[in-house]
Chains A and B, each alone.
Chain A
Amino acid sequence: MSVPSPEPQAVGLEARPAAAPPAPVRRRPAWHPATVASVAQETPNARRIVLDVPTWPGNDPGQHLDLRLTAEDGYQASRSYSIASAGEGTRVVLAVDRVDGGEVSPFLVDAVEVGDAVEVHGPLGGWFVWLPGRSERPVQLIAGGSGIVPLLPMVTAHAGADDPAPFRLLYAVRSPEDAFFREELDAARGARAPLTVTHVYSRRAPEGSDVPVGRLTRDALERAVLPPDAGALVYVCGSTPFVEQVLRWLGELGHDVSDVRAERFGGA
């Protein structure tokens, strides 16, 4: 089991954290009125929702927002969602997975319609962020299911900027139909910026494919990701068990896990 440099004594207690956030948040978060501009089925269990947010200040790839719904009697419910888009525009893309028994996600996936009004607060988060031109380090992205959402804008920004940093994405899903953003990832693969995408299918692979079917294993992870000595920036996003397992394996494979950025989706 890897132990990321636990200092047994108080040596270094006065030091600044080894891993400070990469850059200050440039845009002050605030509440913004938003209108649903379009909805589309993303997977059998998830929906893509494009919001028109006229006062949105823009956001960096990887940031998230809080979305608030208000019932007619004033009752409110808020949840945090990763943003699938980035940049200066006022169109904000979300991709929401239905959490069975949830209060907000079933409404967003099954009921919300074009023209409906919601509110969003953001952009939020300055840690789980990647921006082109900031670093020459290669980038390893690892996503499980809807964990691809905050990673897609990193891939898109990398492709859009012709950024020369090598990118790799390992994307674990149940079946081809459960994969988010198929068109966007295909388009990014065709761009000049170097990108390698590896899919892992736990239940069913695409027809005619010779990709083995099965849950992600440590061996498959080792084959798909950049080696520890590549010095990659590593971003991991998915459900809590997925992220914990990936981080444990990365540590066992010799990666400096104290340098890995992780985002966990709770069921709450």
Chain B
Amino acid sequence: MATFTRGFGGRRDDRDDPRIPPGQTLVRDWPVLSAGATPEIDPADWSFSIRTESGLHTWTWDEVHALGVEDVTVDIHCVTHWTKLDMPWRGVPLDRLFDDVETSLDFCTVHSFGGYTTNVPLAELLDGQSWIAFEADGEPLTPEHGGPARLLVPHLYFWKSAKWVRGIVMQADDEPGFWENAGYNMHGDPWKEERYW
């Protein structure tokens, strides 16, 4: 049975919005959460690579942009209980990169500058479900929010949307990344509250 906390009423503004998953609270600012330092990366030094069983595919900053930048408006959900609705982003769908990549491997380890990793099944990155994002709220992504480029996978908790992203390694097995090794869920669906192990 649930435990009631005497005298707690809650503020519950916006809580009726059906776009807010269980256990989440609406925010209007954009909190910063990272495990360590914020790397500063010049777009001129940035590239994105996908490693498959057949080798390495690499795109420069300009080459990724040339694949076609989209405007998207999505809701983002952080495992630390905040949700931000209707957030405008600009980025290139992962579909466009995988158009040029043949692989029979089903799982991705996403790698970032600074050593961060996170795991996502390939099927959850394709079909318009993820982007390499360069802008949010109409501005280039700042370093503390993952600029110059971060992964955007809005249907999973936001730790999957790796900041300072630089590449993906394709694998046969789903292997835990940084937070997944430290107690967080392998999948991270906010609607199922897949927060922890």
Contacts and interface: CB of A to CB of B under 8 A. Distances in A.
A1 B45 CA distance: 15
Interface residues of A, number: 66
Contacts, number: 181
A154 interface: no
Contacts of B116: 17
Contact of B5 (A28, A69, A258, A261): A69
A71 B4 CA distance: 6
B167 A13 contact: yes
Given A10-B47, A124-B183, A240-B31, A70 B39 contact: no
Interface of B: 2-12, 15, 23, 25, 27, 29, 31-41, 45-47, 49, 51, 56, 58, 80-82, 111, 113-117, 144, 166-167, 169, 177-179, 181-183, 195-197
Contacts of A28: 197
Contact of B40 (A1, A10, A17, A240): A1
A10 B32 CA distance: 27
A79 interface: yes
Contacts of B27: 268
Interface in A64-89: 66, 68-72, 74-80
B178 A21 contact: yes
Given A33-B3, A127-B182, A103 B115 contact: no
B35 A261 contact: yes
A246 to B, nearest CB: 10
A203 to B, nearest CB: 25
Contacts of A44: none
A58 interface: no
Interface string A137-177: 00000000000000000000000000000000000000000
B8 A70 contact: yes
Nearest to A121: B196
Contact of B178 (A17, A66, A240): A17
Contacts of A21: 178, 181-182
A119 interface: yes
A117 B5 contact: yes
Nearest to A266: B31
Contacts of B82: 266, 268
A261 B35 CA distance: 6
B56 A13 contact: yes
Nearest to A25: B183
19 contacts: A4-B39, A6-B45, A7-B166, A25-B183, A70-B3, A70-B5, A74-B2, A75-B9, A77-B11, A79-B81, A107-B8, A113-B6, A117-B4, A118-B3, A126-B183, A250-B37, A260-B36, A264-B32, A266-B33
Contacts of B8: 69-71, 77, 107, 111
- Which A-B residue pairs are the 7 nearest by beta carbons? A266-B31, A10-B49, A257-B37, A126-B182, A17-B115, A103-B11, A18-B115
B181 A24 contact: yes
